[in-house]
C-alpha cells in the first residue's frame, strides 16, 4: 500500500504559480515533499472524530518557497480508506474502500518546515465528496503560525519602503539604491505582525552628493552594484514599524572588487581561516564529501588550514582543511548534526575544496579532493583511496566522482 501511495505521489507533481519568482518546482525525489503531504493528511484525519481515515491518492500541484523557513504549498487528492479514525492505525496502513461507497476529496495546504526539521500545517482547506452526498468543506488555519505572503502583496510596501530608506541612510556607498526583486516573504501574528523579507536592491544613477532621497529620476544601472538583504520587521497594532533589523551582503558589481589591487581585479585574496565568510562554502564542501565518500561514518571539518577568495562572475573559494571521522554513523543518522563529535581514534582526511557560488541564482558548483592522512604520512606508493567529489567549475574540466577501492 505504501509503495502505491508513493508512486501516486510522484506521478503528477506540477509546477504552479510560475509567476512567483521565489518559488521552486517540487522534486518528487525530495523526501521532504512526502513529509509535508503526510503532515497535512495527518492533520486532516486527526480532525475527524468518527468515520474512516482518508488515504493519499496523488499530489497534483506543488511549489516550494525557501527562506529561514521552507514552505510547501500543494494540492493533493484523497480517498476514503477502510481504517476507522479511532483504530490507532496510520493512513499508510489502510486500503481504499470500494469506489462505489468511498468518499473522495481534494485538499489545498501550506506546510512549513522549520530549521529544526519540524513540519507544521499553516493552512488547509479540504473539499470532500461523500459516496452519495454533496461536497463538504473543512478549513484549518493555524493562528500564530508563520505564513508565506505573495511577493506582490500591498502589505509589504511600507516595510520594503522602510527597508530601502534604512539601507540608503546607513550604507557608505556613494549612490542611492532602489528595490530590485522580492524573493521571499513571510508573516506571523504575534500581538502585531512580524515580517521576514528577502529581496535585492540595485544601484541607481543618483549619487548621495546630489540626491537626498530616491526620486523618479533615479534609474537602476545595468552595471551597478546589487545587494541581497534579509530583514525582520515588527509592525505593532497601530501599524507602526516598532522594531527592524537588516542584514545585507553585496553579490555583484564594482563595489565588490574595491578591496582588490587596481592592477588585478580578479586575483585571489587570502581569507582568515576563522572568518564567518567561510561558513557557507565549508558547509557545501563537507556535505559533498559525506555524500560521495564510501565510509560508514560522517566526517566533519576539524581544522581549516588555508583559504582564498576570488571574484569570477560570482564568488570562488579555495579551501584546504582537515576532516575527521565522527561518532555518527550513516546507518543511524540522516545527516551530519551538531551533536556529532570527532572520534579520537577515527580516520582523518586532508582535503582541498574549490567552491564556486552565485547566491543570487542559488547556484553552487564544487570540487572536493581528499587524501587519507595516514597514507600521506607513511609516504607509500600512489594512494588509491583518493576521493574526488566533483562538479564542473567555471574554467576547469569536470572531474569524475569516485572512491577507488
Using the CB atoms, write b or e for 298-337: b if 16+ within 10 Å. bbbbeebeebebebeebbbbbbebbbbbbebeeeeeeebe
* CATH 3.10.450.10 boundaries in the chain: 2-142, 154-257, 269-403
Q: What is the pLDDT of residue 112?
A: 87
Q: What is the pLDDT of residue 133?
A: 63
Fold (CATH) for 154-257: Nuclear Transport Factor 2; Chain: A, (3.10.450)
End-to-end CA distance of the chain: 39
State whether the Cα torsion 142-148-152-157 is positive or negative.
Answer: positive
Q: What is the pLDDT of residue 386?
A: 34
Specify the DSSP class assigned to residue 27. P
Neighbours of 12 (CB within 10 A): 15
Q: What is the pLDDT of residue 266?
A: 61
pLDDT per residue, tens digit, the chain (405 aa), is 444 444 444 444 433 333 334 456 666 667 888 889 999 999 999 888 888 999 999 888 888 887 767 888 899 999 999 999 888 888 988 999 887 788 999 999 999 888 777 888 888 999 988 877 667 787 877 777 888 888 888 899 999 999 999 999 988 888 999 999 898 888 888 778 888 899 999 999 999 988 988 999 999 998 888 888 989 999 888 889 989 999 888 877 766 655 444 445 566 788 888 888 899 999 999 999 999 998 999 999 999 999 998 877 778 899 999 999 999 999 888 889 888 999 888 889 999 999 998 877 788 899 999 988 764 433 322 323 333 344 444 444 333 333 322
Rg for the chain, CA atoms, rounded: 26
CATH architecture for the domain at 2-142: Roll (3.10)
Q: Per the structure block, which three cell numbers stand in for 143?
A: 493562528
Q: What is the pLDDT of residue 255?
A: 67
Dist. CA 17–CA 79, nearest whole Å: 26
Written out in words, the top-level CATH class of the domain with range 269-403 is alpha beta
Amino acid at each position: 500500500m505504501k509503495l502505491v501511495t508513493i508512486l501516486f505521489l510522484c506521478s503528477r507533481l506540477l509546477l504552479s504559480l510560475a509567476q512567483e519568482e521565489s518559488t521552486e518546482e517540487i522534486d518528487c525525489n525530495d523526501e521532504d515533499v512526502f513529509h509535508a503531504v503526510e503532515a497535512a493528511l495527518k492533520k486532516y484525519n486527526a480532525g475527524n472524530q468518527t468515520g474512516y481515515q482518508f488515504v493519499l491518492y496523488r499530489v497534483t500541484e506543488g511549489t516550494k518557497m525557501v527562506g529561514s523557513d521552507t514552505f510547501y504549498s500543494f494540492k493533493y487528492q484523497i480517498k476514503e480508506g477502510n481504517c476507522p479514525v479511532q483504530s490507532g492505525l496510520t493512513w499508510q496502513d489502510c486500503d481504499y474502500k470500494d469506489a462505489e461507497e468511498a468518499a473522495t476529496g481534494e485538499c489545498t495546504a501550506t506546510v512549513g518546515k522549520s530549521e529544526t526539521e519540524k513540519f507544521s500545517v499553516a493552512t488547509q482547506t479540504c473539499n470532500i465528496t461523500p459516496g452519495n452526498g454533496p461536497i463538504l468543506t473543512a478549513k484549518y488555519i493555524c493562528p500564530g503560525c508563520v505564513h508565506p505572503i505573495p511577493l506582490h502583496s500591498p502589505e509589504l510596501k511600507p516595510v520594503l519602503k522602510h527597508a530601502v530608506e534604512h539601507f540608503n541612510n546607513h550604507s557608505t556607498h556613494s549612490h542611492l539604491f532602489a528595490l530590485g526583486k522580492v524573493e521571499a516573504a513571510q508573516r506571523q501574528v504575534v500581538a502585531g505582525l512580524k515580517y521576514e523579507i528577502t529581496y535585492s536592491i540595485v544601484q541607481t544613477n543618483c549619487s548621495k552628493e546630489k540626491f537626498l532621497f530616491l526620486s523618479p529620476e533615479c534609474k537602476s544601472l545595468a552595471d551597478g552594484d546589487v545587494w541581497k538583504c534579509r530583514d525582520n520587521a515588527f509592525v505593532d497594532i497601530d501599524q507602526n514599524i516598532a522594531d527592524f533589523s537588516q542584514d545585507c551582503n553585496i553579490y555583484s558589481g564594482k563595489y565588490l572588487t574595491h578591496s582588490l589591487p587596481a592592477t588585478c581585479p580578479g586575483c585571489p585574496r587570502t581569507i582568515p581561516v576563522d572568518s564567518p565568510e567561510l561558513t557557507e562554502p565549508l558547509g557545501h564542501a563537507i556535505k559533498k564529501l559525506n555524500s560521495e565518500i564510501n565510509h560508514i561514518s560522517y566526517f566533519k571539518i576539524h581544522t581549516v588550514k588555508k583559504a582564498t577568495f576570488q571574484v569570477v562572475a560570482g564568488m570562488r573559494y579555495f579551501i584546504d582543511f582537515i576532516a575527521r571521522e565522527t561518532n555518527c554513523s550513516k546507518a543511524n543518522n540522516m545527516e551530519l548534526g551538531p551533536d556529532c563529535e570527532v572520534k579520537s581514534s577515527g580516520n582523518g582526511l586532508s582535503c582541498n575544496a574549490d567552491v564556486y557560488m552565485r547566491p543570487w541564482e542559488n547556484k553552487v558548483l564544487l570540487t572536493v579532493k581528499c587524501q587519507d592522512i595516514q597514507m600521506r604520512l607513511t609516504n607509500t606508493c600512489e594512494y588509491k583511496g583518493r576521493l574526488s567529489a566533483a562538479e564542473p567549475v567555471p574554467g576547469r574540466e569536470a572531474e569524475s566522482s569516485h572512491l577507488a577501492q
